[in-house]
Amino acid sequence: MIASKVWLFFAMSAITSVTGRPAVAAEAGSVIATQGNGRGAVACKACHGEAGAGIPAVGFPRLAGMSKEYIVRQLDAFADGGRAHTMMSPVAKALSPDERAAVAAYFEAARAPATPGLAPVDEATLARGAVLARDGAWSKGLPACGQCHGPDGGGIAPAFPPLAGQSEKYLKAQLDAWRQGKRTGDPLQLMTVVASKLDDAEVAAVAAYYARLPPEAKGEER
């Protein structure tokens, strides 16, 4: 009973602090995304696009529709060294916690169409990717990607990011980073374990498959 009252108190506080100045928060996120913060964080749009489409060809990830919580967790990890990246680490360090939350909310709400011009991929690769995405490979204890990332890769907020329409190069690089232990900090080490069960051909297949699905993430509506 006491615990639930404490929880209620925090919940009410959170609602008040968000709803008290939503326009300010949204405006702040938009400014950071399009202009940077003037203190070392360059404009996100330079690499991720104003609407969060990313630049798939060079592996800059799509952010549109990712949950705020997921984006904040990544920015925190870039800032504290839990996730390493030559460009993102200094940018994240230059953002205050409030700014991280604001820019994350901006990209959660952003919608960007699929990026055209993906190179064709052979049918067999796509079919292999589809099986991994929808059925998994239980003979080696591998659940379907879609069980956590949602049917058709739309993501399950807050913890599981959308994969549909994500940069193929980025997906492949992340799966390889999980496999090689270069990316860590995943909840329960779920991705570390899952990725370790994929071989090179499977990584390529699943990245090719999700990159070609239409991005339709709408965020979690519980």
Partner 1 sequence: MTAAKRAHSILFAAVASLSVAGLAVAGAAWADPSGEQSAFTPPSGAEIPKGGFGEMVALGRDIFTDTSKHAGAFVGNDLNCSNCHLDKGRLAGAAPLWAAYVAYPAFRKKNQRVNTFEERLQGCFRYSMNGKAPPLGDTTLIALQAYAYWLAKGAPTGVDMNGRGYPAPKKPERLDLARGGEIYAQKCALCHGADGAGLKAADGSVAFPPLWGPRSYNWGAGMSVITNAAGFIKANMPLGLGGTLSDEDAWNVAAFVDSHERPQDPRFEGSVAETRKAHHDNPLDLYGTEIGGVTLGENSPPSGPQPK
Alpha helices in 180-218 (DSSP H): 190-196, 200-211
Judged by CB under 8 A, does residue 39 bind partner 1? no
Judged by CB under 8 A, does residue 4 bind partner 1? no
Kindly indicate which of the ranges 25-33, 68-76, 85-93, 211-219 contains the residues binding partner 1, using the contact rule CB under 8 A. Answer: 211-219
Burial class (CB in 10 A: 0-12, 13-18, 19+), 106: buried
- CA 73 remoteness from chain centre: 10
Judged by CB under 8 A, does residue 63 bind partner 1? no
Residues in the chain: 222
Judged by CB under 8 A, does residue 140 bind partner 1? yes
Residue type, 178: W
Kindly indicate which of the ranges 50-58, 109-117, 149-157, 171-179 contains the residues binding partner 1, using the contact rule CB under 8 A. Answer: 149-157
Find the binding residues for partner 1 in span 107-126 (CB under 8 A): none
Judged by CB under 8 A, does residue 194 bind partner 1? yes
Q: Are 86 and 50 in contact (CB under 8 A)?
A: no
Judged by CB under 8 A, does residue 151 bind partner 1? yes
DSSP 92-128: HHTS-HHHHHHHHHHHHH---PPPP-PPP--HHHHHH
Judged by CB under 8 A, does residue 10 bind partner 1? no
Judged by CB under 8 A, does residue 5 bind partner 1? no
Cβ at position 89, least distance to partner 1 in Å: 26
Judged by CB under 8 A, does residue 187 bind partner 1? yes
Helix (H, G, I), strand (E, B) or coil at 55: strand
Contacts to partner 1 by CB under 8 A: 135-136, 138-143, 147-148, 150-152, 154-157, 159, 187-190, 193-194, 216-222
